[in-house]
Amino acid sequence: MPVQSPPAFHGFGLGLRVPHYADFIATQQPVDFVEVISENFMVDGGRPLDIIDRVRERYRVALHGVSMNLGSVDAVDLDYLRRLRALARRVDPLWISDHVSWTGVDGFNTHDLLPLPYTEEALDVLAANVSIAQDVLGRALVLENPSTYVAFADSMMTEAAFLSALCERTGCQLLLDVNNIYVSATNHGLDPDDWLQGLPLERVRQVHLAGHSQGRDMLIDTHDAPVPDPVWRLYARFASRLGHVATMIERDDHIPPLADLLAELQQARLIAASAARQAA
Amino acid sequence: MSLGELQRQFIASVSGTDARESFDTQGMRVYANNYRSQLVTTLRDTYAKTRLWLGDETFDLAAERYVDEHVPSSWTLDAYGHDFPDLLERDYPDDPDVSELAWLDGTLRQAFSGHDGAAIDAGALIADDWDRVEFVFVPTLRFRRMRSNAVSIWKALADEILPPGAVQTSAGDGVRVWRRGLSPRFASMDARECACLDLALAGATFGEICERLRQLHASAAMAAEAGGLLRAWVDDGLVLSLRQG
């Protein structure tokens, strides 16, 4: 069944987190949209739903999930999808996103975004689950490339080829996390500049920009620091090829004052504008 | 290896139930650390006052034991840790304040995002036959009997003042937790209120609650006492509606 793609939208936004709820509700902040973590609002009632209603009065909202478990051999969780659908009806989001990953199997949920081998079997499983989710939600999903710390010898294709095939089979769109590209490529000894090779760029609906930290052996996708220079530079190189795409700063820990994040978002605007001028 | 086999082996490695090094050791260390630290962080967040009471190190040891014994299964982390007070009750059988503090922490957290319910006010206390009236409570209402002064300890910790020492309290006293509007609330209850609320939640009529009060106290002012309790429940925003039984 053909899925309905989200409408075109090219703004600049921020991930909305608890310390900034009041700022966003009290005053119109200079963002075109906010992205919220879906699961935080997939609740029965109380303050979370009051907050999302008040945020929605001022801003367009993208719903970003972390628990759809699309890459698992487990059946997709219909209770989860129904709750997400109810939230979507309440919020009328720009789009609904989640990750090209799995979180658990046999009912064991690690609450982490686990890596998939890039094999035909994984593609079959993932595509089937994405199709079910899209049917229940009545729209095309926007799916994000995760940071990974393990690569599998079984993988038969690149991550970009895997994502491309997924888009082809399901009609889904892509959320390109530039930090995740940098982290995964660095951890696996690849060149991040090669990452877009073979990717259907017209499918990229949104870009995430975030920071990471240096672990003992690897880069860790911690979202606890400003966007670092290597990620800005990678974004600058990608921006001219991506064209106008909704872009946002994602910060989940050590959350700074809102002004700091808005300054980072302004930097993204400038880079995108410069890329657009160069492309013209 | 099939995808299912790979995923089961991966989970076993992440959760530490399989010591084989089937995947890259450095990478698996990241996933294993993420897994445990996220669950412990969730427990710290949900049971914040309990953590203050026990101290970080002791709390984290209990949290780690809980993670060892409890597999997260729900799509939401909010569901993880519901049985943590039971673990503390087992670990501290002579210190009921610990598990009761955790129960209060956890129940307040559940009330925060529980189902909405618009409570009635005193103007809605109208019935033709009060003896047959049953009470429907707001969906977030929970109660339990307490053996310690955990409620006082919780309040002191919330107010950032020196908490009282733990003491055993009268048998039958308790605490109720609910949400009024958007704000989770709690209130201590004496043994009479506990008994009555227990009955009311089980579907007893107002007449049956009055009879219970009469058995407890042989009080001549039994009807006034029952009326006072009902008025307090309504004023606190506990009652959703009256139902003719």
In contact, A177 and A145? CB cutoff 8 Å:
yes
Distance from CA of A211 to the nearest CA of B (A): 17
Q: Tell me which residues of chain B, numbers 197 to 226, contact chain A at a CB-CB cutoff of 8 Å.
A: none
pLDDT in tens, A32-74: 999 999 999 999 999 999 999 999 999 999 999 999 999 999 9
Of B8, B35, B76, the CB nearest to A106: B8
Contact A110 B15 (CB under 8 A): yes
A257-280 pLDDT, tens digit each: 999 999 999 999 999 999 988 877
SS3 sequence, B27-78? Answer: HHHHHHHHHHHHHHHHHHHHCHHHHHHHCHHHHHHHHHHHHHHCCCCCCCHH
Model pLDDT for residues A137-149, shown as the tens digit of each residue = 999 999 999 999 9
DSSP string across B169-238: --TT-EEEEEEETTEEEEEEE-HHHHHHHHHHHTT-BHHHHHHHHHHHH--TTHHHHHHHHHHHHHHTT-
* Domain contains A15: no
What is the DSSP secondary structure assignment for residue B109, as one 8-state letter? H
What mean pLDDT do residues A172-186 have? Answer: 96
Ramachandran angles phi, psi of B80, nearest 5°: -85, 135
Q: Is B77 a residue whose pLDDT tops 60?
A: yes
pLDDT of B144:
96
Provide the number of structural domains found in chain A.
Answer: 1
Residue A265, H or E segment: helix A258-279
Considering only the beta carbons, identify the residue of A80, A105, A109 that sits closest to B8.
Answer: A105
Please give the Cα distance from B143 to B153 (Å, whole number). 17
In a domain, A11, yes or no: no
Rounded to whole angstroms, how far apart are CA atoms B172 and B217?
Answer: 14
Written as six digits, the tokens of B170 are: 């009268």
Is A260 in the B-facing interface, judged by CB distances under 8 Å?
no
Domain with A48 in it: 33-251
Residue A95 belongs to a domain: yes
Give the span between the Cα atoms of B143 and B163, in whole angstroms. Answer: 23
The verdict on ipTM greater than 0.85 is yes
Is residue A45 within 8 A of residue B116, CB to CB? The reply is yes
**How many CB pairs below 8 A link A and B?**
116
* CB contact (8 A) between residue A109 and residue B15: no
Specify if A62 maps to a domain: yes
Is the predicted pLDDT of residue B220 greater than 80, yes or no? Answer: no
Strand order in the sheet with B142-145: B142-145, B174-180, B183-189
Instruction: Output the pLDDT for position B37.
Output: 96
**Token pair of A212, please?**
């990471």
Residues of B in contact with A67 (CB under 8 A): 75-76
Would residue A94 count as lying in a domain? yes
Interface test with A, best of B8, B75, B78, B109 (most A CBs within 10 A): B75
Calculate the alpha carbon distances from B230 to B6, B130, B135, B226 in Å. 59, 12, 10, 6
Chain A CB within 8 Å of residue B35 CB: yes
Question: How wide is the angle at C-alpha A186 spanned by C-alphas A184 and A191, nearest 5°?
Answer: 100
Considering the entire predicted model, what is its pTM? 0.94
> Cα–Cα–Cα angle for A87, A138, A106, nearest 5°?
75
Nearest-angstrom CA–CA distance, B38 and B50:
18
Give the CATH number, domain containing residue A194. 3.20.20.150
pLDDT at A1 over 60: no
Please report whether residue A125 resides in a domain: yes
User: Going by DSSP bridges, is the β-strand pair A142-144/A108-114 parallel, antiparallel, or unpaired?
Assistant: unpaired
For residue A52, the SS3 value is: helix
A114 touching B (Cβ < 8 Å): yes
pLDDT at A91 over 80: yes
| A111–B27 C-beta distance less than 8 A | no
